[in-house]
Structure 1
């Protein structure tokens, strides 16, 4: 494995967090998959492009990118051993041959200079220890004129998920997600500042909305939400918490599932 400088995140994604995401890969893809269309269209992947998926996790976006780059290739990089094992097994099961997955820290990973046409990420770039250094490293991995596209979490206020968490805490953004974790790139001004300092140009940031499927019904969704890392870490585990989440998500039961509308930032830039 390549050098790791983001030690705290490496421990989390090779511990409970990564194991939970790997074990429930289909459920996390149901939560985030409706955003794929925005990300892939923004990335504008050509059939011969070389694509880098940053924080690829279980590899759904990597595989979809590889399908679009059918005469090219897609490479996924992630800190999490459990999730990368899942990504490799899913790619093999689906017969996606033009993908590779490597374990490493994108902040210092030895990417080939100018080795990629496109870099993209679905909610995998919010956890860098040094975001300017990390995005600078990604920029060097892109050819001149190469494209960056990623999704990052927007503030929870005003979203269905924010409504659910507001039942549990008076400050869902801070208490549940944490401004230095999933919400570290929730401010477009900060996004532009970081990407500019990393050497990117033509930075664009716009809000997109998608539907997240959290479970079959309120009880199923509540059990899954209670196991999600930020909730488990910040709010603990208890029967009372599970009961409160179940009550909070019940109004969002519709068409055989718990469906929450969510907003994210869709960001693009060029080297």
Structure 2
């Protein structure tokens, strides 16, 4: 794998994930994993990792999926790649604390990272592939990193209206600009037709999309969840910081309080394909 300064083409994402956004995710990795980790079982099932597999985790963040993949590939290895230096530092620290020895973490842009051809048996991602500057080029690079017949499995967001978080976001003041679409935002792979178009153009075959649901724990109570979400990068970037914003989000979270936590129903696509 590479060393030194990574080649970056997705500059805006690089700046975000090495600035406030990346630090917030690294500092609150347990909170983000509590929200997204309920989908891990679907992802690992779709990836069907064998004990000797070499696994690539794209957009690995703080490395929870990478470590889980390494546990399944106990005689193989798992490599996590991400743009964010703060999150990768956290990933390495957590792997060390947990004694996971067959993992490595590399900073890089998956669209252009110089992976060795055929170096991996499986590529996975938990909500880390929706932000590519050029998704066809990125998935083409990932395909080249897989051996012939290698497997791809990833999770991407379903339409926002199918996620409870959409009801929370709807309570926020309007921004006055169009919602994020096919421009590298979180909903860029929220439609199966778009997913198939991108992956097939990138050289994948046997593309399948299955909708999956999971309960996402977002806080101890509405106030806890409201304070946390007010600090989430996209919210803070668009709305700034204010007690009024925390109050708005807190009230939007109240309908989802039950059994000692805020529990949102999340919907995602589990996508699988072959190289």
Verify the 8 A CA contact 1:133 1:198 in the aligned structure 2.
yes
Equivalent residue number for residue 274 of structure 2: 270
Measured against aligned partners, the alpha-carbon deviations of 1:56-109 in whole angstroms (never above 9, x if no partner) come to 000000000000000000000000000000000000000000000000010010
Measured against aligned partners, the alpha-carbon deviations of 1:189-248 in whole angstroms (never above 9, x if no partner) come to 111100011000000011100011111111110011111112222233222211111111
Specify which of 116, 119, 125 is matched with residue 115 of structure 1: 119
Map 1:1-271 → 2, pairs under 5 A: 1-169=5-173, 175=179, 178-179=180-181, 180=183, 181-271=185-275
Separation of aligned partners in 1, 2:65 and 2:21? 19
Using the TM superposition, give the Cα deviation of residue 173 of structure 1 relative to its aligned residue in structure 2, in angstroms: 11
4+ residue stretches of structure 1 with deviation over 3 A? 169-175
Measured against aligned partners, the alpha-carbon deviations of 1:2-47 in whole angstroms (never above 9, x if no partner) come to 2111111100000011000000000000000000000000000000
Separation of aligned partners in 2, 1:173 and 1:244? 20
Using the TM superposition, give the Cα deviation of residue 169 of structure 1 relative to its aligned residue in structure 2, in angstroms: 4.6
Measured against aligned partners, the alpha-carbon deviations of 1:160-206 in whole angstroms (never above 9, x if no partner) come to 1111122225699955xx22311111111111100011000000011
Taking structure 1 as the reference length, the TM-score comes to 0.96
Segments of 5+ residues of structure 1 without an aligned counterpart are none
Segments of 5+ residues of structure 2 without an aligned counterpart are none
> Residue 124 of structure 1: SS of its match in structure 2?
coil
Separation of aligned partners in 1, 2:33 and 2:242? 26
Separation of aligned partners in 1, 2:74 and 2:114? 25
Taking structure 2 as the reference length, the TM-score comes to 0.95
Verify the 8 A CA contact 2:162 2:266 in the aligned structure 1.
no
> Residue 58 of structure 1: SS of its match in structure 2?
coil
Q: 1:87 to 1:174 in 2, by over 3 A?
A: farther
The alignment's C-alpha RMSD in Å is 1.5
Verify the 8 A CA contact 1:84 1:101 in the aligned structure 2.
yes
> Residue 111 of structure 1: SS of its match in structure 2?
coil
Q: 1:104 to 1:255 in 2, by over 3 A?
A: same
Separation of aligned partners in 1, 2:51 and 2:34? 26
